[in-house]
Amino acid sequence: MTDARAVASGAPTGRGLTRDLRRLTGFTLKRLIALFLTILVGVYLTILIANMGGRVDDLRMVQIRGDVSETVRADPAFHDMSSEERNELIQRRVDLEVERLRLDQPFIVRSFDYLYRAMMLDLGRAEQMHSDRGAREVYWIIVERLPATLLLFGTANFLVFFVSVFVALSLSRRYGSPMDRTMIALAPTSAAPGWFYGIFLILFFAFVIPVLPSGGMVQAPPPESSLAYAADVIRHMLLPVAAMFLSQIFISIYSWRTFFLIHSSEDYVEMARAKGLPSNLIERRYILRPTLSPIVTSFLLMLIGLWSGAIILEQVFNWPGLGTLLFQAIGHRDTPVIIGSVVIFAYLLALTVFLLDILYAILDPRIRIGPN
Amino acid sequence: MRAWLSGLLELRKYPSAIIGMAIIAFLVGLSVYTVITVPYSQALELWRGGEQWRMHPVNAGPAWVDRLRGGGKPETMVISSADSDIDVEPFEGGQRLRIPLEFDYDYTAFPSEINLFLSTPELKREPFTRLTWIAPDGDETPLGGHRIAREDRVSITQDWALERRLGHVPHVGLLARDLDDESPQVQPGRYTLVLDAIVFDEDARIDADLVLYGRVHGLAGTDHQRRDLVVALMWGTPVALAFGLLAAVGTTITTLIIAATGVWYGGWIDATIQRLTEVNMILPLLPILVMVGTLYSTSIWLMLGVVVALGIFSAGIKMYRAMLLPIRQSPYIEAACAYGAGNARIVLRYMIPRILPVLIPTFVTLIPTFVFLEASLAVLGLGDPILPTWGKVLNDAQSESALYSQYYYWVLSPAALLMLTGLGFAMLGFALDRVFNPRLRAF
């Protein structure tokens, strides 16, 4: 209560700003540390899951033995050895390699080593796969795919978010209208995920009426000029974005509409109406402003949900992003890539949560001002 | 209790709830029917594929779709030697058999494949047979001679010599009116395939089955392994419902109990639960499922276990916590404390039931999410290795590029069932939401 009075009495703006900034930095730091710990535990859990029963170690042992025997057999210098000698040599080299990779140490010791490396984004080398430039490091394989995923999901999410908030605002103004009823009736269609609509969109727009490409990011020889390239990417993006849009838009509109309806019946809004303020001013200052932080929260929560939906949508549309990468890694049984993708997904999610916290702090004056 | 009943009665006012319940009732009915008529072990056996499907066409569409469009695509015809008059002519140390396999062909489209299945008892010397194809206009086409092993398949479609002679693939050329035509027409009428066989045994018989594979099959068509899709579509229903329901029940109940425990005890227990929830929030569910599927097993029950395990500390805890915090302070809990109720009793009998009505809609809308999750995993190729599910049908269709080959039915029928499930539960859930959430009821 005292805070409110202090704000109302009007503290000097300069001092208020530095105080806000100081509080914000403190808050950000605290959140960063908390999130760091969260990621630490999350990644460690991932490593534990991936290593459960020593399956990964077995895979690596098989791989090491295979590689070593291959090199020894292929080397002409060892051709005149007897098979016994050769086996001994192979065994020696395998032991060396095992020692080098510290596979002879107990898992609990190595798990912390893995954790350290994963946290430093040193994700190891892929077993089979390589990046388009030819690198074998999991880090580069993943980083190369990241922009495609960000482009597709960024576009689709922003579109869904802004369209749904604005449509919902206008619907909440005249609820009960035929338009409003249609939207409510359509809301259950969002039970199906984006890839599901993707299949139908591909069926109609790529095969029945072949007007759009059925998958991929650019056509087979990529266009020369950057403008034509961008246009082609947009053409390829239309269907996947439409699929995500279709699967999300009605449920978003529905929930925002309900949300705005609940908030537009608050007393202070009624009061503003009674004062005779214009309706768009009421919307902006009395409905949108106080509800901004929950809106942002739910937007970012939606992002979190969509990160995982990405995998299958990308696979259905053959979009060269993280999801397709993960899918290919499953096909190759390339464990380091799979674990690396999980770690990257964890980081992306953590980043989203972090953004959420910061935005929350900026938007919600109660956090900025602090408890005292 | 009365609040629940009146809430259910109120549902009648929502047409979407009625439709949703009808859909769910249909799906449940279908599941029960499936489980009773096609037992579990039989379904697995059927879905494994192989020899038992040899009489089925490859990638045939549903028959009813073709009939609706007024098409005359053939269904599979099996002409068995058991139904034909066999001439027997014995000689010293053996017999000469003449087996005419006659059939009327009235379809306007050609069959997709022709095979002849022959079987004889175990004999010292293998019987020999010469095949002649007689068209309705009397034209005879020799199809060559064959030695018959005990179980033999003569693939007339893959007879390249015959194909060169006819100028068309055999299953078109043998039934065409005019071979010189670029796009030949079917010659309708009575065809005969004559088997002239010599058997080096006095009373051994030859069983012959001529199969003209159709281009349409039954209710749902067949896939690339000749399996009837009806099996997968029907068995997919109980699997999807069971997975969705168990996952929804598992995650909701555990989450609820944990949230309530945290709120009731407070202190470090609550703090631990909160931190665990935050850790869980950054654990990506689908990639972890993919990882588990790749490294261990893709069994649907293991997936269910992982989903539930990761769902225990889901983001829902925060929501339930917000709902439970004011309840903790309410006087009736204090009253319960006063009469000496234990901790477990307060959590389970006093706190959780209070927020159950609010949870019912969430619970119902959660079911299709898990149904689609299972389908998603299957589409990624991590479906259960032995169970027939809708997602696996989609996965097969995708890996065989069904859309490109215009086998639309292969994608559309499992997709339609998935959509139906999603819609049914979502419609009921949304209506329940408005009945049980008083803040929404006004609107």
CATH number at residue A283: 1.10.3720.10
Same domain, B193 and B248: no
Residues A186 and A93 in one domain: no
Q: What is the pLDDT of residue A5?
A: 43
pLDDT over threshold 60, residue A1: no
Q: Could you tell me if B201 and B253 lie in one domain?
A: no
Residue A3 has pLDDT above 50, yes or no: no
> Cβ of A192 and B418 within 8 Å?
yes
**Is B380's CB within 8 Å of A311's CB?**
yes
Q: Total structural domains in chain A?
A: 2
Do the domain assignments include residue A75? Answer: yes
DSSP state of A205: I
What is the domain range of residue A88?
40-120
CATH number of the domain to which B190 belongs: 2.60.120
Who contacts A194 (Cβ-Cβ below 8 Å, separation ≥6)?
A240, A243, A244, A246, A247, A248, A309, A313
**B288 at A interface, C-beta within 8 A:** yes
Tell me what the mean pLDDT of segment B265-279 comes to.
86
Q: Which residues of A touch B284 (CB under 8 A)?
A: 307-308, 342, 345-346, 349
Say yes or no: A80 and A186 in one domain: no
Q: Which residues of B touch A41 (CB under 8 A)?
A: 279
Residue B111's nearest CA partner among B42, B197, B191 is B191
pLDDT higher for A367 or A279?
A: A279
Same domain, A72 and A158: no
Residue B220 lies in a domain: no
pLDDT of res. B143: 85
List alpha helices for B55-140, DSSP H: 63-68
Q: What is the pLDDT of residues B322-369, one digit of tens each?
A: 888 888 888 888 888 888 888 888 888 888 888 887 788 888 888 988
- Say whether pLDDT at A49 is over 50: yes
Same domain, A211 and A341: yes
In three-state secondary structure terms, A299 is helix
Looking at residue B441, its pLDDT comes to 52
User: Cβ A184–B423 below 8 Å, yes or no?
Assistant: no
B417 and B279 in a single domain? The answer is yes
pLDDT of residue A10: 44
* Same domain membership, residue A178 and residue A49: no
Which H, E and C letters describe A229-274, residue by residue?
A: HHHHHHHHHHHHHHHHHHHHHHHHHHHHHHHHHHHCCCHHHHHHHH
What would the pLDDT profile of A266-314 be if each residue is shown by its tens digit? Answer: 788 888 888 888 888 888 888 888 777 777 777 776 776 666 666 788 8
Domain end (from B190, B213, B236)? B213
Given a cut of 80, is residue A364 above it in pLDDT? no
> B399: which 2 tokens?
């890996």
Residue B441 lies in a domain: no
Q: Residue A372: inside a domain, yes or no?
A: no
pLDDT of res. B176: 84
Residue A343 lies in a domain: yes
Residues B312 and B208 in one domain: no
The pLDDT of residue A93: 85
Residues A154 and A292 in one domain: yes
The ipTM (two decimal places) reads 0.75
Whether residue B244 is contained in a domain is answered as: yes
The CA-atom distances, in angstroms, between A197 and each of A305, A316, A372, B286, B443 are 17, 10, 51, 19, 30
Which residues are bridge partners to B211 per DSSP?
B78, B115
Does B294 contact A206 at a Cβ distance shorter than 8 Å? no
pLDDT one-digit tens code per residue, B210-242: 888 888 888 888 888 888 888 889 999 999 999
Nearest beta carbon to residue B411 from set A55, A199, A350: A199
Measured between CB atoms, does B107 come within 8 Å of chain A?
Answer: no
Q: CA-CA distance, B314 to B5, in Å (whole number)?
A: 30
Number of domains in chain B: 2
Same domain as A168, residue A64: no
Q: What is the mean pLDDT of residues B110-132?
A: 85
Model confidence at B32, in pLDDT bands (50, 70, 90)?
Answer: very high
A132 assigned to some structural domain: no
For residues B237 and B351, state if they share a domain: yes
Interchain contact A216–B (C-beta under 8 A): no
Strands (E), B171-216: 189-199, 207-213
Residue B221 located in a structural domain:
no
Q: What is the pLDDT of residues B55-75, one digit of tens each?
A: 888 888 888 888 888 877 888
Are A153 and A310 in contact, with CB atoms under 8 Å apart? yes
B377 falls within a domain: yes
Q: Are residues B237 and B361 in the same domain?
A: yes
The answer to whether residues B200 and B339 belong to one domain is no
Rounded to whole angstroms, how far apart are CA atoms A268 and A282?
10
Name the one residue in this structure whose structure tokens are 């939906």: A309
Region B88-107: mean pLDDT is 85
Position B29 scores a pLDDT of 94
Q: What are phi and psi of B77, to 5 degrees?
A: -115, 135
Q: Identify the CATH number of the domain in which residue B348 sits.
A: 1.10.3720.10
Determine the structural domain holding residue B132 and report its residue range: 74-213
User: Looking at the structure, do residues B251 and B168 belong to the same domain, yes or no?
Assistant: no
Does residue B53 sit within a domain? no
Establish if A143 belongs to a structural domain: no
Higher per-residue pLDDT: B37 or B287? B37
Q: In the numeric block, which tokens belong to residue B111?
A: 């069959």
Question: pLDDT per residue over A312-350, tens digit each?
Answer: 888 888 888 888 888 787 777 677 787 788 778 777 777
* Residue B150 shares a structural domain with residue B270: no
Query: Above 50 in pLDDT, residue A4?
Result: no
Residue A12: pLDDT above 60? no
Residues A194 and A297 placed together within one structural domain of the fold? yes
pLDDT of residue B33: 94
Phi, psi dihedrals of residue B143, rounded to the nearest 5°? -105, 10
Shared domain check, A197 and A256:
yes
Q: What is residue A306's predicted lDDT score, i.e. its pLDDT? A: 66
A371 within a domain of the structure (yes/no): no
CA-to-CA distance for B170 and B213, rounded, in angstroms?
13
DSSP sequence for A35-103: HHHHHHHHHHHHHHHHHGGGHHHHHHHHHHHHHHHHHHHH-GGGTTS-HHHHHHHHHHHHHHHHHHTTT
- Per-residue pLDDT band at B438 (split at 50, 70, 90): low
Whole-number mean pLDDT of chain A? 79
Measured between alpha carbons, how far is B434 from B104 in angstroms, rounded to an integer? Answer: 61
A28 domain residue, yes or no: no
**Final residue of a structural domain among B149, B179, B213:** B213
Mean per-residue pLDDT, A223-232: 84
Give the best residue of B274, B289, B292, B295 to mutate against chain A (max A CB count within 10 A). Answer: B295
- Residue A314 included in any domain: yes
Residue in the block written with tokens 């004999």:
B123
One domain for residues A190 and A283: yes
Contact A55 B315 (CB under 8 A): no
Same domain membership, residue A252 and residue A103: no
> Are B287 and A53 an interchain contact pair (Cβ–Cβ within 8 Å)?
no
Backbone angles phi, psi at A64, to 5 degrees: -60, -45
User: Does residue B442 lie within any of the structural domains?
Assistant: no
- Residue B64 in any domain: the answer is no
Q: Write the pLDDT tens digit of every residue in A57-113.
A: 777 778 788 888 888 888 887 777 788 888 888 888 888 888 877 777 777 777 788
Residue A251 pLDDT > 80, yes or no? yes
Reference B102, options B124, B86, B122, B121; nearest CA is: B86
Query: How distant is the Cα of A115 from the closest Cα of chain B, in angstroms?
Result: 15
Interatomic CA distance for residues A347 and A149, integer angstroms: 14
pLDDT above 60 for A25: yes
Mean of all residue pLDDT scores within chain B: 85
Helix (H) or strand (E) holding B27: helix B15-37
Angle at B432 between CA B431 and CA B436, to 5 degrees: 125
Say if residue B86 is in the same domain as residue B23. Answer: no
Query: Of A103, A120, A137, which one is at a domain's C-terminal end?
Result: A120
Q: Are B56 and B77 in contact (CB under 8 A)?
A: no
Query: Among residues 306-325 of chain B, which lie with CB inside 8 Å of chain A?
Result: 315
Name every chain B residue with its beta carbon within 8 A of the beta carbon of A212: none
Residues of A in contact with B244 (CB under 8 A): none
Q: Which residue has the tokens 């259905």?
A: A316
Angle at A120 between CA A321 and CA A331, to 5 degrees: 35
pLDDT one-digit tens code per residue, B144-177: 888 887 778 888 888 888 888 888 888 888 888 8
Residue A14 has pLDDT above 80, yes or no: no
Query: B213, B243, B277: which is the final residue of a domain?
Result: B213
A113/A256 same-domain check: no
Give me the percent of chain B exceeding a pLDDT of 90: 8
Contact criterion met (CB < 8 Å) for A41 and B429: no
Edge-to-edge strand order for the sheet containing B77-80? B77-80, B207-213, B113-119, B151-155
Does B326 share its domain with B359?
yes
